[in-house]
Amino acid sequence: MEAESARVIPEPGRPLISFRGIHKSFGENGENQVLIGIDLEVYQGETIVILGRSGSGKTVLTSMLVGLTTPDAGAITVEGVEITEFVTDTDWRNLRLKTGYLFQGSALYDSMTVGENVAFPMLQHTDWGEAEIERRVAEKLGQVGLPGVEPLDPTALSGGMQRRAALARSLALDPEIIIYDEPTAGLDPITGNEIGQLIYSLQKILKVTSIVVTHDLRLTELVADRQVLLHEGHWAFQGTYAEFLNSSHPEVRRFLHLEPLGEMTP
């Protein structure tokens, strides 16, 4: 079966992805409210960054786009299709095929070579022949600046190279949407900056729609067309990076280290 599916271009002014009234709680009695009535629209070809403290619900929100988490209430549409009505893997298949997901920490398979990792989605979801898969693996690794590493084990790569290899795997089926979950976590500032530059260049070259979950302000400055800040289940901010720098919201100011976090306790 081929991986390609007909691409639906949203109407002008219509969002590609829409979250409406999303609620999500955890705990036996739902006492841990993570998302409380979240609304968000993402437009085709843009890069939106979701900021927030650890545990604020950033990854919970984005994982709903591939069915890893389900909302307790609210609706999510992608290309006009309400995905919160999906109930089977068959329902999810087309959306997952056109969505690349870069997991935090890369999540490469240690039992496979780098090339086999990148080829894995192609083997699972297409009927491409061996030569075509080899060509596409080389193409994807070249796009992330890792030509010729196919025979290496993931453990032979540095942290930054592993992140690039995982991104190549995310690109394997030419996705229209890419979700990046903390793409610079655990990397030194220089390597993190290189990953940010790569995300920016891929978005411009491939014209994908990107959603970046992070708490890295340098990455945000590099890649964001817009950004949002989650705080206590609600948006504390939505807008551009320049607007973010000038926001008077207390949580934004704390995020920018412009306002004290509170008194230190012994």
For residue 213, pLDDT over 90 is answered with yes
The reported pLDDT for the residue numbered 265 is 44
- CA-based angle 15:229:67, to the nearest 5? 55
pLDDT tier at 9 (50, 70, 90 boundaries)?
A: very low
pLDDT tier at 17 (50, 70, 90 boundaries)?
A: very high
Out of 1-10, 75-84, 99-108, 167-176, which region has the weakest mean confidence (pLDDT)? 1-10
**Pairing verdict, β 17-26 and 32-42:** antiparallel
CATH of 44-68+89-255, one of 3.30.565.10, 3.40.718.10, 3.40.50.300, 2.60.40.1120: 3.40.50.300
For residue 6, pLDDT over 60 is answered with no
For residue 188, pLDDT over 50 is answered with yes
The CA-based dihedral angle spanning residues 148, 2, 208, 117, taken in that order and rounded to the nearest 10 degrees: -30
Average pLDDT (99-113) is: 90
Q: Write the DSSP string, 214-249.
A: ---HHHHHHH-SEEEEEETTEEEEEE-HHHHHT---
> Structural domain boundaries of the chain?
44-68+89-255
For residue range 23-40, what is the model confidence (pLDDT) as tens digits? 999 987 778 899 999 999
Enumerate residues 6+ apart whose C-beta is below 8 A from 46. 209, 210, 225, 226
For the chain, the first-to-last Cα distance in angstroms comes to 62
Average per-residue pLDDT in the chain? 89
| Buried-state track 212-239, b at ≥16 Cβ within 10 A, e below 16 | bbbbbbebbebbbebbbbbbebebbbbe
Query: What proportion of the chain, given as a percentage, has pLDDT over 70?
Result: 92
Strand partners, 77: 18, 82
Maximum CA pair distance of the chain? 63
Cα within 13 Å of Cα(161), Cβ side:
14
For residue range 131-154, what is the model confidence (pLDDT) as tens digits? 999 999 999 999 999 999 999 999
Residue 34: C-alpha distances to residues 61, 67, 235 (Å): 9, 17, 12
Cα within 13 Å of Cα(60), Cβ side:
22
Alpha helices per DSSP H over 106-263: 114-125, 130-143, 159-170, 189-206, 217-223, 241-245, 250-255
Residue 248: C-alpha distances to residues 5, 206, 229, 231, 233 (Å): 45, 36, 13, 15, 19
SS3 73: strand
pLDDT tier at 261 (50, 70, 90 boundaries)?
A: low
The reported pLDDT for the residue numbered 93 is 87
Q: Model pTM?
A: 0.88
Average pLDDT (242-264) is: 81
The reported pLDDT for the residue numbered 266 is 45
